[in-house]
């Protein structure tokens, strides 16, 4: 946490907003489910030891292939290789999808780490990112704006300013196409008249629209609008 005079490695930043300021927010995982899924049968927080009763690393390597062969054999981070490989977590079949992606292999111990908690017994579904990476997730940016505009007290007013929250993993996935998403007609015609500050982040959290639970999710994009 940085201030005008010093920094802290243990602090947090809080922003207070008065009731006179209209506010709306969104956080979307712009993916569609595929038929490929499995069950996380042994986990501890973000670490998954077994998938469908077998070593988790074996299942993950069979899916991701030789792009992660070195990490599979020796352990290591695989963030760049999985930034376009979203996985949705569901603790129960009726739960909303929580997007995540695999973070690391444990080498000979055969576990894998995720960037978000994986409850034991949860279903993991492989998601399809479609044309998102090649378009800079232009449609997702537009949808995030629209969702924030009708959410909360923002639904009764016009936005005056905005904050764009863009997952760091998504930024890796789109590469040089990030600019294409920001300048796309779908997004720019909505945000062009507003002062908007953008930020990439890791560990983004948001309230799920149906369950109203605040969860950590990965590979997501969101908007915060103020009116």
Pairing of strands 102-105, 112-114: antiparallel
Would you say 214 and 207 are in contact if contact means Cβ atoms under 8 Å apart? Answer: yes
pLDDT per residue of the chain (227 residues) written in tens, 0 to 9: 777 788 888 888 788 888 888 888 999 999 999 999 999 999 999 999 999 999 999 999 999 999 999 999 999 999 999 999 999 999 888 888 999 999 999 999 999 999 999 999 999 999 999 999 999 999 999 999 999 998 878 877 789 999 999 999 999 999 989 899 999 998 999 888 899 999 898 888 888 878 888 888 899 999 999 98
Each residue's pLDDT tens digit, 162-197: 999 999 999 999 998 989 999 999 899 988 889 999
Q: Whole-structure pTM over 0.75, yes or no?
A: yes
What sign has the CA pseudo-torsion 40, 169, 130, 150?
Answer: positive
130: left (phi > 0), else alpha (psi -120 to 50), else beta? left
CA distance 79 to 86: 11
Domains of the chain: 23-30+132-226 (3.30.1330), 32-128 (no CATH)
Cα–Cα nearest to 29, from 93, 91, 92, 90: 90
């Amino acid at each position: 946490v940085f201030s005008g005079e010093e920094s802290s490695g243990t602090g947090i930043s809080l922003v207070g907003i008065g009731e006179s300021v209209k506010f709306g927010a969104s956080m979307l995982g712009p993916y569609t489910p595929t038929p490929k899924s499995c069950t996380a049968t042994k986990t501890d927080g973000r670490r998954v030891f077994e998938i469908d009763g077998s070593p988790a690393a074996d299942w993950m390597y069979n899916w991701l292939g030789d792009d992660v062969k070195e990490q599979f054999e020796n352990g290591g981070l695989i963030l760049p290789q999985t930034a376009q490989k979203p996985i949705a977590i569901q603790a129960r079949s009726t739960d909303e999808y929580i997007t995540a992606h695999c973070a690391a292999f444990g080498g000979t111990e055969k576990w894998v780490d995720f960037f978000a908690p994986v409850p034991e017994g949860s279903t993991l579904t492989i998601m399809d990112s479609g044309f998102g990476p090649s378009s800079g997730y232009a449609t997702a940016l537009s949808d995030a704006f629209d969702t924030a505009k009708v959410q909360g007290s923002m639904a009764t007013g016009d936005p005056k300013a905005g904050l764009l929250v863009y997952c760091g993993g998504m930024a890796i996935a789109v590469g040089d196409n990030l600019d294409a998403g920001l300048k796309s007609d779908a997004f720019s015609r909505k945000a062009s008249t507003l002062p908007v500050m953008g930020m990439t982040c890791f560990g983004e959290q948001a309230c799920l629209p149906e369950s109203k639970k605040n969860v950590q999710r990965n590979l997501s994009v969101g908007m915060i609008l103020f009116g």
